[in-house]
Structure 1
Amino acid sequence: MNMFRKNLEEATPQQIFQAASYSIKDRVIGNWMTTQEAYDKEDPKMVYYMSMEFLMGRALGNNMINLQAYQGAKEVLEELGIDINVLEDQEPDAALGNGGLGRLAACFLDSLATLGYPAYGCGIRYRYGMFKQKIEDGFQIEIPDDWLADGNPFELRRPEYAKVVKFGGYVSVHCDENGRNHFVQEGYQAVRAIPYDLPIVGYGNGIVNTLRIWDAESMAGFRLDAFDKGDYSKAVEQENLARNLVDVLYPNDNHYAGKELRLKQQYFFISASVQEAVEKYMRKHDDIHGFPEKVTFQLNDTHPTVAIPELMRILLDDYNLGWDEAWDITTRTCAYTNHTIMAEALEKWPIDLFSRLLPRIYQIVEEINRRFVLQIEEKYAHIYNVNVGEKIRKMAILYDGQVKMAHMAIVAGYSVNGVARLHTEILKSEELKDFYEMFPERFNNKTNGITQRRFLLHGNPLLAEWVTKQVGDGWITDLPQIAGLKKLAEDKAAQKEFMEIKYQNKLRLAKYIKEHNGIEVDPDSIFDVQVKRLHEYKRQLMNILHVMYLYNELKAHPEMEFFPRTFIFGAKAAAGYRNAKLTIKLINSVADVVNNDASIKGKIKVVFIENYNVSNAEIIFAAADVS
């Protein structure tokens, strides 16, 4: 506790957490430096996993698990009279993500490090995340998630890798003595992107990769001259513009200003990440043409798609490559993960907004589109019964006043993957059928998974210990080994042990619900769980309508046979999504009625978990009977 000039008895729980985190960080740093030195020496191909969100959860416990130091740390803390679970509860979840897209990104980073693949995650250092959810009178209330209030002990600020990102202005064209045009963005606003690095610790292998998240600072800084003249707003104007970029994940885009901020956020972190990736490559290589052999950009959904024209911009304008050379490099570097089959959810930007905010990028997108339309015409012009105009309408990147980001990702990507077998098949046969017919070799499936280290080894320690007892600990890094449990499927003693673990996990969740919701739930009831981002297509509304139906049936037929059920919901609704927020209110209103009706004798309970996140998900998942 020297860092706070206090002994253990005087320290607050938060100070003890900080001290423990810095102690673990000391162990991480050594491995981190060794890993990066090995990468510098071996010069392997590097994955840049670009994502608008990374739903990381808490870092301390996960780092101790992957360092294989958790049990030792637990015993040392117990000797000091400190409960490791209470200590971990001092850490806020990193507010860098919200839904499955962000959790997939986090799980990929963990697995990449554990499997020894060199990788960077690239994102934004949001100051307040999406929001912290409070439930008041059944309604969702959004408040800032000030997760950085006490600092983040595991992050490293890296100002030596700062980048300049430009918005707006206009593009001037200058012709050199060789007749080549040079494009220069002028009259722009600029911000400085400052990277913060977070360690991604591989399990038991000494490898530490990096999640690099970008903060924004004003180029001008504090305007003392304006302040001295009494113009206090102007003194901090540029600082506030920069701060707005990184304050909130997914700002409400029900209005034009929100749409503009979202697009600025996307270009901000992508431009900084691509600039640094190119510079890092060129620090060790003389020829930019070898870039795809050493770098790949994995675009997690359409948000990072501006990486394509941004890489083109750098190659064309900074390295003076010709279009064909630049396009060849770009199309061998970029790959795209699609997350949705819904056409309306595939990201599109109004051309007037896109071209005003990113003038040089838009010029490049125009040329990508022009050449692709020609490609469509050449391929289908002489094929009988093919309507070329209809093909262009369905496939063009620029059409009907919009920039269609998914189309650009497919046209420029060497790989397009869905995240479940059925999802990928629907993409190929319905939503992206025209692209699949044109580029069948690019489409493939990568079924989503989650890391067993976070959600079994850390989140469900009782079950993890039992699995290890039965099949050994190889499953921690090679999950198929868990199939060794099949031999116990009919073993009565094993079934009893398994169900006792489930019951203990249900007791743990029941305790959490009592502490946070004030509701007594029966651990012997079926825990029927639906926790995920709240959206109409995710069918939380159908679920609560089903609960209402069951309740009415019980009221009408109190003698009916019915095994007690506890319905557990957890979800955040986007701040501007009215129907989703009304669904939360409905769930809580149904809970008020059902939970307080003595006549049904507790056969149904309804619980809405406030502020669903990774940390309470670990408790919920382990206790779920139905999901």
Structure 2
Amino acid sequence: MDSPLPAEAAFDVAAIKQSLTDHLLYSVGKDPLFATSRDWYLAAAFSLRDRLISAWVRTMRSYYDNDVKRVYYLSMEFLVGRALTNSMINLGLYDAFREATESLGYDFDELQSWEVEPALGNGGLGRLAACLIDSMATLGLPGFGYGIRYEFGMFTQHVERGWQVESPENWLRYGNPWEFQRPGVIYPVRFGGRVVRYRDGEGRWNSQWVDSEEVMAMAYDVPVPGFGGKTVNNLRLWAAKSTREFNLKYFNQGNYIESVRDKNESENLSKVLYPSDSTARGKELRFRQEYFFVCASLQDIIARFRKTHSNFDLLPDHVAIQMNDTHPAMAVAELMRVLLDDHHYDWERAWTITVKTCGYTNHTLLPEALETWPVDLFERLLPRHLDIIYEINQRFLNDVRHRWPGEMDLLRRMSLVDEDGTRRIRMAHLAVVGSHSVNGVAEIHTDLMKSTIFADFDRFQPGKISCKTNGITPRRWLLSANRPLAALITEEIGDGWVTRLEELQALAPLAEDAEFRERFAQAKRTNKQRLAQVIEQRLGVPVDTDSLFDVMVKRMHEYKRQLLNVLHVVTRYNRIRANPTAFAVPRTVIVGGKAAPGYFMAKLILKLINDVADVVNNDPLTSSRLKVVFVPNYNVSTAELIIPGANLSQQISTAGTEASGTGNMKLALNGALTIGTWDGANVEICEEVGEENMFLFGLTAQEVARVHRDGWDSAAAIAANPELAQVLDMIGSGYFSPDQPDRFRPIVDSLTLGGDHYLLSADYPAYIATQERVDQLYVDADAWTRKAILNVARMGKFSSDRTVAEYGEEIWNVGS
């Protein structure tokens, strides 16, 4: 007889109040008389979790009952953001929980603020992964996320004297009420050892990986509710556990540090997100991390498959593995190892199964971002996988050689092994060769993949590379983050847009309705007022809410060109000072983003932003018309504050360098107009929104490639532009750094002597002219609001629901 499913928890306000007080007493262990708001947050989290569990169990059981094909999304990052509000909204309980909480005498917003955001990612890769697993659940697809339960995130960013300062991001310090520890789901992960070859009873050669060391991977599960609450999928995160707690011999001798050395070294695997790879130990730890989570995930996937199936030929019919970037690319070699060594499949059958099961999403065109690992790391840590990769490479290159005999340069380019200098394994090539599908994340990105980094592979297997343009979940990025605008939209066109974002198109005619424009503008003012309060509270900088909120929030990187933004700010500053009585549109320039700890230039640009802010914000001639604010520790929760308040969205990367971007989608969906280059998803946003409703400028990707091929004389370009020359002279001579006049000389040198690789001097004139167009439009509030409404109305394509539906139909062969 089947075991009964848990009863549904009641959803009415009275039941929620009772649940809150019960959990405060029995789960948190607090007397209501002495409970803090943080205690009540935990009670709310546990109470809401109760209401997730029955749907979660029911969902998992239905997948088994119906023997569905499951999608496994392998990603090193999942930036899921806070769960409390998002889960309430997806379960339809937001209003009931707010009423129940406030009737108990507690401020609902204060309770929410106690939730610590999971530090499971660093940027767009993790935010995309979070959106996709949300959409899988909303569409009812059997989608599972797999990642690492990092004890510490990359770092918490502070700003001291304008410099970025990193400290540990200990997000688990107070526990995590949203996770379920699974001590019974634990798998060994092996490293090191050697490979033994032997003949079996039928004379066939086999390989065995022996004498390896082990670390254990323990599962932690996080429920992922879809909108409507019918489907609750699972995010499974792996934590490293030692096979031995401590060495009793050393302990008894009083050598306590040595007694737990093995334990500590083993558990370092899930200690921190992206350990610095500037040292050999850091590189090795990151290499171990990638295999650790791939190996544990594949063991779990196969164990689940084998509960109902024994024939691995059926694996592609029941399992789809999607590798989010190259970090999980080891899945190709690991699945081959399992099939060859553990289950004794011959090579051809194992390879067919592997390729049909795996898919690969590429997220970068930058050669330095395409992972390669030294062969010696494989030899020491994964010797059997190196054997398998060599065999994959030999067979693959034989096929290429048969197609194009004598083309040695082609073989060198397509090889999985980079033979130039220190021999390295090209993980992107492994992922491409070992997958049935490879996809880019925007149309221009996919076209460039086919014509640049994977041109040879596209010629070898035409049609294998396709485009799946990124999307964002409208539940978090509009319904939750921007409640004033979401309420207005729902009042006008109903709430169908929450799961069918294309229904926003019904707003387009309302752009001509004066009353709606005013209500839309009021929603934006409300969000700007909230953001202004946060900026003043956190940073002590008062900002004018009537000013144009000019927003650039993204990881600090030279190709994203935060520096170009700074050049405009200084140009604007100079113009105001040169003519202080002339009218200037007030601007508040808001920047946020982390620089990698070892990335000198990115950290120096961040310092420049803060030094420019110090001068601009305190100059009596400019401070009323220009403010610069750097918001530290940019994360999902901060994004949910900044994005709804933005008027202008800066998406100004050098054309051909940004794969897609999702910040551009979030900002446009929330009514910001885009100033951007012809790069990433900006191009597709333009196709939907209309070029007349955006501010696009600069070189195209083809023009950038031509300039790089023919050479660019940045010094001549700077000399020909007096405003740019003045700005760079000020930066380089110490105008913004009188305590250290040559502080920013490396930045200036990179543009003048270093060739200006990202072509800021080429795009500067067009950028400044386009910013003048921005000012002209902002003065006409009605015209600006009209365009903002049209941006929102035409963003339906950029729902992650559409993205996931395309993956499901065209790559994973699953349907909603």
Q: Does 1:445 align with 2:489?
A: no
8 Å CA contact 1:376, 1:388 repeated in 2: no
Q: Does 1:431 align with 2:453?
A: yes
Q: Does 1:393 align with 2:412?
A: yes
Paired position in structure 1 for 2:798: none
CA shift for structure 1 position 441 = 1.6
1:331 partner letter:
V
8 Å CA contact 1:125, 1:196 repeated in 2: yes
Paired position in structure 2 for 1:97: 121
Q: How does 1:137-152 map to 2 (within 5 A)?
A: 137-152=161-176
Paired position in structure 2 for 1:61: 85
Q: 2 CA distance for matches of 1:46 and 1:328? A: 19
Deviations 1:404-463 (A, max 9, x none): 011111111111111111111111122221111111221111111110000111100010
8 Å CA contact 1:301, 1:338 repeated in 2: yes
Of 613-622 and 174-183, the range deviating more from structure 2: 174-183
1:15 partner letter:
D
CA shift for structure 1 position 114 = 0.2
Paired position in structure 2 for 1:209: 233
8 Å CA contact 2:56, 2:231 repeated in 1: yes
Paired position in structure 2 for 1:252: 276
Residue among 302, 319, 322 paired with 2:346: 322
RMSD of Structure 2 on Structure 1 (CA): 1.1
Paired position in structure 2 for 1:287: 311
Paired position in structure 1 for 2:697: none
CA shift for structure 1 position 601 = 4.2
Paired position in structure 2 for 1:43: 67
CA shift for structure 1 position 205 = 4.0
Paired position in structure 1 for 2:702: none
Of 184-193 and 96-105, the range deviating more from structure 2: 184-193
Q: 1 CA distance for matches of 2:34 and 2:455? A: 65
Q: 2 CA distance for matches of 1:618 and 1:416? A: 32
Q: How does 1:460-499 map to 2 (within 5 A)?
A: 460-499=482-521
Paired position in structure 1 for 2:39: 15
1:283 partner letter:
K
Paired position in structure 1 for 2:95: 71
8 Å CA contact 1:503, 1:523 repeated in 2: yes
Q: Does 1:133 align with 2:168?
A: no
Of 402-411 and 167-176, the range deviating more from structure 2: 167-176
Unaligned runs of 5+ in 2: 1-23, 650-816
CA shift for structure 1 position 180 = 2.1
Q: Secondary structure at the match of 1:162?
A: strand
Paired position in structure 1 for 2:736: none
Paired position in structure 2 for 1:569: 591
CA shift for structure 1 position 294 = 0.3
8 Å CA contact 1:116, 1:207 repeated in 2: yes
Residue among 572, 575, 586 paired with 1:553: 575
8 Å CA contact 2:536, 2:542 repeated in 1: yes
Q: How does 1:490-529 map to 2 (within 5 A)?
A: 490-529=512-551
8 Å CA contact 1:17, 1:91 repeated in 2: yes
Q: Does 1:611 align with 2:633?
A: yes
Q: 1 CA distance for matches of 2:377 and 2:161? A: 39
Q: 1 CA distance for matches of 2:195 and 2:479? A: 54
State the TM-score, normalizing by the size of structure 2.
0.75
Q: 1 CA distance for matches of 2:249 and 2:595? A: 44
1:561 partner letter:
F
Q: 2 CA distance for matches of 1:226 and 1:186? A: 27
Residue among 223, 228, 232 paired with 2:256: 232
Q: Does 1:175 align with 2:199?
A: yes
Q: How does 1:308-457 map to 2 (within 5 A)?
A: 308-381=332-405, 388-400=407-419, 401-457=423-479
8 Å CA contact 2:28, 2:42 repeated in 1: no
State the TM-score, normalizing by the size of structure 1.
0.98
Q: Secondary structure at the match of 2:574?
A: helix
Paired position in structure 2 for 1:270: 294
Unaligned runs of 5+ in 1: 382-386
CA shift for structure 1 position 178 = 1.5
Q: 2 CA distance for matches of 1:267 and 1:505? A: 43
Q: Secondary structure at the match of 2:97?
A: helix
2:581 partner letter:
E
1:302 partner letter:
T
Q: 1 CA distance for matches of 2:571 and 2:448? A: 32
8 Å CA contact 2:162, 2:607 repeated in 1: yes
2:123 partner letter:
G
CA shift for structure 1 position 225 = 2.7
Q: Secondary structure at the match of 1:159?
A: strand
CA shift for structure 1 position 545 = 1.8
Q: Does 1:4 align with 2:23?
A: no
Of 417-426 and 225-234, the range deviating more from structure 2: 225-234
Of 598-607 and 196-205, the range deviating more from structure 2: 598-607
Deviations 1:138-170 (A, max 9, x none): 111111111111111110111222110001121
CA shift for structure 1 position 399 = 2.0
Residue among 144, 147, 162 paired with 2:186: 162
8 Å CA contact 1:185, 1:360 repeated in 2: yes
Q: 2 CA distance for matches of 1:310 and 1:425? A: 30
1:414 partner letter:
H
Deviations 1:299-337 (A, max 9, x none): 000000000000000000111000000000000000010
2:410 partner letter:
K
Q: 1 CA distance for matches of 2:44 and 2:79? A: 23
Q: How does 1:583-602 map to 2 (within 5 A)?
A: 583-602=605-624
Deviations 1:321-360 (A, max 9, x none): 0000000000000001010111221111111122221111
8 Å CA contact 1:99, 1:532 repeated in 2: yes
Paired position in structure 1 for 2:267: 243
1:110 partner letter:
D
Q: 2 CA distance for matches of 1:98 and 1:124? A: 13
Paired position in structure 2 for 1:384: none
Q: Secondary structure at the match of 2:439?
A: strand
Of 579-588 and 99-108, the range deviating more from structure 2: 579-588
Q: 2 CA distance for matches of 1:490 and 1:257? A: 61
Q: Secondary structure at the match of 1:435?
A: helix
1:103 partner letter:
R
2:464 partner letter:
R
CA shift for structure 1 position 99 = 0.3
Of 168-177 and 156-165, the range deviating more from structure 2: 168-177
Q: Secondary structure at the match of 1:563?
A: coil
8 Å CA contact 2:55, 2:229 repeated in 1: no
Deviations 1:440-495 (A, max 9, x none): 22111111111000011110001000010111100111111111101101111111
Calculate percent identity across the aligned residue pairs.
Answer: 48
Paired position in structure 1 for 2:481: 459
8 Å CA contact 1:395, 1:434 repeated in 2: yes
Q: 1 CA distance for matches of 2:82 and 2:610? A: 28
Provide the aligned length of Structure 1 versus Structure 2: 622
8 Å CA contact 2:333, 2:388 repeated in 1: yes
Q: 1 CA distance for matches of 2:129 and 2:54? A: 25
Q: Secondary structure at the match of 1:178?
A: coil
Q: 1 CA distance for matches of 2:353 and 2:404? A: 26
